[in-house]
Structure 1
């Protein structure tokens, strides 16, 4: 099945071949299915990613790698063919390293980023709370000044990978009440095993490899060196981070869609009913063809967003539209695959049930559809009221 709507640079083509071979070797379907069913973290997979130097693409803010986003979406799409959850973990690490490169001190980069670059550390992020979702500026978790440092209290929910060994969480918290909600936010770097931090895994339908956690903060004492940037810069850090995050996870969703369509096309070409393969029936072939068209169009949206990002141009709206399209199509493609493959697709003999579960949440991560469409509506000039 065709991979790219546009011609790729030689560097992208080489990277795609490397990434595809890497995934074939280190994340075969059998292993991914076991990781998902057992909820186990493939530590070796990410050690090998670090060894290949893919994290290094965002490690130096002063000398950025040319076409960073274009290269990252190539890697993410190929890893997404195995699992969008694996892409989510990659995104957390890439985004954390990039945040440290752009906002952190040399000491913070040494303490928090170098373990991830070395393959034995990892990042998570905590924004949502029991009463806070899309309205991220309304977080209630607080950091108060005390004894030359800070004391954090509160609760975070739906934190992916927060319970994995060696994880450092980027927590969005409130640091004041001086003005607009967005001006009173900060990001703190908090190791998951820090005194006063309690992490609990939440039972979930999907995302079983990374795991989803709730985090409780009980008088967590932190030094000033745990603050990323300055007090009041939390919203800016989060907003900037989300643009590349949407581009990366969108590409991962596309890889998963391509994998789901590949396995469904193979099934339709082999499965015989009433004397011919079911691919001969338009009720089967045409919905799959339409899904392929939509996937290719969504890929164009992702590639445009990456090109704008690499050019240093604003692309919040474009990345939002790309994520909206890719999240929708992943959910719908996995549902169509389940319908086409029937009972065969329902049993856990391959990764389709995993894709179906992970496809459901694809609409919601990095912003649910209604919030994303609100961003687009404002860009069109539609007034909020």
Structure 2
């Protein structure tokens, strides 16, 4: 067993941090307060070649694995930008995977090259207001026509919809009640986000405001046949290809948020003097921060184990979900302790930990809740009866 990053992964970490160093706290505060997408950061990552880290080499990507992408995303989130830095780019890491695996050569060239170059942005249209995590119950419907499909429906929590050019869209093409299995009858598309047929309505939310989240209303959107990924009715199976990579990457991003918060807390504890001594000399400050380090460290290595399993073609559902669970909890606890370490100043925007605290709760909710993760592990690992 080799418990260290490879030379390539160390180079990835250093390269990403070099790009991120150009975007300081003031930059991310401005993006957050104005709810402005970090276009400059996005372009810098594109110019550095980072948007194509998991994309095929023949299309201009790096052809690397999920483990390498996890190292990259950890570097991005722990370098001032927090979860906004992650959410601005992470759909490039897992969202197009269905295209990579099931798309035609023509589709890959047409769709992936502009993503890699940063010339186009995409959003992910899967979740719906009445279905939530019960994906088989989505109602957005794509009706067959001679030349393609007509789509009507709603999507929820669609990130980057305000700036996206394309949408990866999961629909039903056969009603659930007419299918032999609930997972049948869903079809996946990657198509233009035609705003004459699609209303993208921003959701005002607690944190990560530099990257928009949206309610999407689709009314008679035409999607040509050439924008369908794979076979009709097989979309749910294609989406599954992205689920474990997404959990691994979100976990890595959460750890980045937690480690940045912990770094800021330790720095403040060394510098803040009360009653003639730095507060970091007090065990009441030391112990909670040291405890957070242990949880973040253990979660990080679970992330890398899950990524290694995925990259080597081995089952990793339990590890990917466990990594997301551990990382979300560890990030939230670290951010909370960072605020408490700062005392009253933790409530002020100047020290940034309040921003990281607001972002850290998201890592416990999305893209899958802690409760569903535990139910999954109970059923798949402990062989207990299905509870839902």
Q: Give your verdict on TM over 0.5.
A: yes
Stretch of structure 1 that moved more, 349-358 or 260-269: 349-358
Change (3 A) 1:243 1:62: farther
Q: Which position in structure 1 is the counterpart of 2:312?
A: 311
Give TM-score, length-normalised by structure 2.
Answer: 0.93
> Residues 106-121 of structure 1 correspond to what in structure 2 (within 5 A)?
106-121=105-120
1:309 offset after TM fit, Å?
Answer: 1.2
- The 1-side partners of 2:333 and 2:212 are apart by 23
State how many pairs are aligned.
Answer: 379
Measured after TM superposition, the shift of residue 40 of structure 1 is 1.0
1:248 to 2:245 alignment: no
What SS does the aligned partner of 1:90 have?
A: coil
Structure 1 stretches (4+) deviating beyond 3 angstroms?
61-67
**Structure 1: runs of 5 or more not aligned:** none
Q: Identify unmatched segments of 5+ residues in structure 2.
A: none
Per-residue Cα deviation, 1:266-322 (whole angstroms, up to 9, x for no partner): 111111222211112211110111110001110110010111111111111110000
Residues 1-385 of structure 1 correspond to what in structure 2 (within 5 A)?
6-25=3-22, 27-60=23-56, 68-81=65-78, 82-164=81-163, 166-176=164-174, 177-378=178-379, 379-384=381-386
Across the aligned residues of Structure 1 and Structure 2, the Cα RMSD in angstroms comes to 1.9
Higher RCO, 1 vs 2 (CA within 8 Å, ≥6 residues apart): 1
Q: CA deviation at 1:80?
A: 0.8
Q: For the Cα contact (< 8 Å) 2:153–2:217, is it kept in 1?
A: yes
Q: CA deviation at 1:95?
A: 2.1
Q: Provide the rounded CA distance (Å) in 2 between the counterparts of 1:65 and 1:384.
A: 40
Q: CA deviation at 1:157?
A: 0.8
Secondary structure, in 3 states, of the residue corresponding to 1:155? strand
Whole-Å separation in 1 of the counterparts to 2:351 and 2:185: 47
**In structure 2, the residue corresponding to 1:207 is in which secondary structure?**
coil
Deviation for aligned residue 1:126: 1.5
TM-score for both structures, normalised by structure 1: 0.93
Give the secondary-structure state (helix, strand or coil) at the position aligned to 1:41: coil
Take 1:127 and 1:70, find their aligned partners in 2: how far apart are those partners?
25
Contact between 1:192 and 1:199, CA under 8 Å: does it hold in 2?
Answer: no
Indicate if the aligned counterparts of 1:324 and 1:369 stay in contact, CA closer than 8 A. Answer: yes
1:51 to partner: Cα distance:
2.2
Q: Any conservation in 2 of the 1:35–1:42 contact (CA below 8 Å)?
A: yes
User: Could you say what secondary structure the match of 2:350 adopts?
Assistant: coil
1:84, distance to aligned residue in structure 2 (A): 1.7
C-alpha displacement at 1:55, in angstroms?
Answer: 3.1
Is the 8 Å Cα contact of residues 116 and 122 (structure 1) preserved in structure 2? yes
Contact 2:49 2:117 (8 Å CA) reproduced: no
- Higher mean C-alpha deviation, range 171-180 or range 251-260: 171-180
Q: Quote how far apart the aligned CAs of 1:230 are.
A: 1.4
Structure 1 residues 66, 118: CA separation in 2 closer, same or farther (over 3 Å shift)? closer
Measured after TM superposition, the shift of residue 193 of structure 1 is: 2.9
Distance verdict in 2 for CA 1:136–1:62, change over 3 Å: farther
- The alignment partner of 1:12 has SS state of helix
Query: How far apart in 1 are the matches of 2:98 and 2:312?
Result: 19
Contact 1:67 1:310 in 2 (8 A): no
Q: Take 1:247 and 1:279, find their aligned partners in 2: how far apart are those partners?
A: 33
Deviation of 1:198 (Å) = 0.9
Give the drift of 1:66.
6.9
Return the offset for 1:65.
5.8
